[in-house]
Amino acid sequence: MSILDAFYSLGGKTNKATGEQNAQETEEGISSEKFPELKLDMKNADLVDLTKEWKKKWEESEVYSVWQEACKVNEEYWKGKQFDLPKSDKNRPLIDNVIFESVETYLPQVTRRNPDPMVMLSRKAEQSKENLNFASELQKELVEIADEIVLRLKLRKSARHWVLSLLGVIKVGWDLNKDIPTAKALRPEKIILDPDATVDEDGYTGKFIGEYVKKEAGELIDLLEEIGGEKEGIKKIKDKTKDNRGTEVTYIEFWTGEYTCWKLDDKILYKGKNSHWNYNTKEESPYNEDGTPQTDEEGNIKTVSVPGVNHLSVPSMPYIFLSVFNLGKQPVDDTSLIGQNLSTQDLINKRIRQIDKNADSMNGAIAVSLERAGMSIGQARGINDAVRRGGTIAIPAGSVNEALVRLSAPSLPNDVYLQLTDTRSRVRDIFGIRGSSAAGLQDEKTVRGKIQSRLLDTDRIGGGFSEYLEQMADRIYNWFVQLLYVYDANYKGKDLPKIRVSVKDGSLLPKDSTTLANQAIELAGQNRMSLIDLYKALDYPNPEELAANVWLEANAPELLLNNDSRVQQVMQTQKENAGNEQKPVSKSINFKDLPPEGQAQLAFQAGLQLNPEAVAAYNESKMKKEATKDIMVDLGKKAINDINQNNQQIL
């Protein structure tokens, strides 16, 4: 596989008023500037002009300017830089950063585990055993890839970018070192988008995407020489860096569905087709029976078109976006969770400052009468310091009560503290984490109330965010399958069944570990769950080994504990004793066949005291009764026969 097949680069304003933009949506005719489509045979100069227009359109749009300002404010508040203090002021700002608490409680809940991929055969595919096994094995491979690249942490990073920057971006590609599909969360500020596009349930609707990529000059030159980059572009890099291979170069990588190109200033570094797609190929027609190739009328060898096997329906740009609060007007969200809580966070900080100032004032200041105390202004200013140090104050004459007065501020009303508590809870409610934090549950006195609050959080996050993150993971898994079809030799060039790839619904919903563990233990106690599944539910690191040890302990403990010298000694002793013991011959006899003395002895062993003579008398009496019974039965049968014969004679 060449680098070209799997290159991976993870590595005057025209603002429009909002009213004009809304009016443009309802006007007939051309609603945006006409840009030529990016084509592989386009001249480099035309390609440079086109990409410059794309970049200019994005960076000079009102969407971009408003978005950049919102990103800056959100990030500053998340960091806790919520005040513009003078540089000379070295004191830390007195804040209660509930926004940071809410964000960092919110995100771990929905990214605690990797999303569960599901691979199923398409309804139109043949439901054969071979195809079903293919879908099952592919699902297992997706699980392994997600674990290898730590997908849940990449989703968390992308979700944090969404919270701070109103957009989450993940780029997929092929990792040449691990030889597996991979993904990388990008900062949205590094992306160039179409301001007239949007992100909806079907994904990004724009025709192009640009990305600022940074690489060392030497690495970039080697890559371009390997994949067939433009000579003028390579020369541009060498001139710009003065042949210093360690200098980092930032260029822009542009994508459309069909093509990609790299641009540095006014030079194109590389242009080519979408490398993440299996294009149709041509092969020679099957040979004739005599072994000669088939030819047309002009003598040319006939060829047949072989369609490329792909999972995606069309060539696509390898970027996946996370957008939730989007009205369909722009590619970034119209608002954010942080943006909705900025004024609330300011109010919290304001109340904190008021309470702190009041607490300082309650320590009391001292008012001094210079005339009655007989002091100068300079002497009076030192009284407060002396009181704080526990020193002594002396006045020349007069009463101390008349010369000095301690002034203390009254305590704040209780409503101030209640509003502070309510405002903090309001922020947690908007984020949906009130029942997920200790501070949010401190007012709940019952276990039932705490559980209900937790369930409300799950519904809030599940319906408001986690389903969007699951959809993002869904697209990532579909892209992974596409990349496997293109780059993995186990899939490339083979006739593969049509499949459907999705994510299990609710796999990213917040789940309480204690509740899940209790449910698993209860199911195992009712024999409704195997041991290995129980250990997996309890998140043990080696569930298979634990389950095997339980079975060995019950059935073959010597195999489980054979490394212990004491166990080996006991096993050896038992083996020797088993060899020396002689098993008695097994005998069987009926109790009634024994003589009276034998019956008495056997009864004595069973705990019964019987007299042999009494046993003999009992047996004799029993035999007589049985004999009498037999005689009576015979007499009864004879009488019945006689009656039947008399009746026949009468008839």
Q: How confident is the model at residue 449 (pLDDT cuts 50, 70, 90)?
A: low
Residues 83-103: what's their mean pLDDT? 72
588-640 pLDDT, tens digit each:
556 566 676 666 666 666 666 666 666 666 677 677 667 666 666 666 666 66
Q: What is the pLDDT, as a whole number, of residue 382?
A: 73
* Residue 263, token pair as written in the block: 């641009």
Checking 508-511 for CB contacts under 8 A at 24+ apart, the result is 508/110, 508/111, 508/113, 508/115, 508/466, 508/469, 508/470, 508/473, 509/110, 509/458, 509/461, 509/462, 509/466, 510/109, 510/110, 510/112, 510/436, 510/457, 510/458, 510/461, 510/462, 510/466, 511/112
**Cα separation values, 627 from 219, 599, 633, Å:** 114, 22, 10
Residues facing residue 272 across a β-bridge? 260
Residue 475 and residue 142: Cα distance in Å, rounded?
Answer: 13
Looking from the CA of 521 toward its CB, the CA atoms found within 13 Å total 8
pLDDT band of residue 504 (cuts 50, 70, 90) is confident
Taking only the tens place, the pLDDT of each residue in 377-399 is 777 777 766 766 666 777 776 67
The stretches of 376-512 forming alpha helices (DSSP H) are 377-381, 383-388, 400-403, 414-431, 438-441, 447-461, 467-487
pLDDT grade for 31, boundaries at 50, 70 and 90: very low
Over residues 209-225, mean pLDDT: 92
Residue 614 CA to residue 439 CA, distance in Å, equals 87
Amino acid at 420: L
Q: How confident is the model at residue 534 (pLDDT cuts 50, 70, 90)?
A: confident
Please say if the pLDDT value at position 22 is more than 50.
no
Query: Whole-model pTM above 0.85?
Result: no
**Encoding tokens for residue 141?**
């491979």
The torsion region of residue 294 among left (phi > 0), alpha (psi -120 to 50) and beta comes to beta
- Whether the Cβ atoms of residue 342 and residue 350 lie closer than 8 Å to each other: no
CA distance 580 to 582: 7
Q: What is the pLDDT of residues 315-355, one digit of tens each?
A: 999 999 999 999 999 999 999 989 988 999 999 988 888 88
More confident residue, 436 or 253: 253
Give mean pLDDT, residues 21-48. Answer: 58
Mean pLDDT score, 553-569:
77
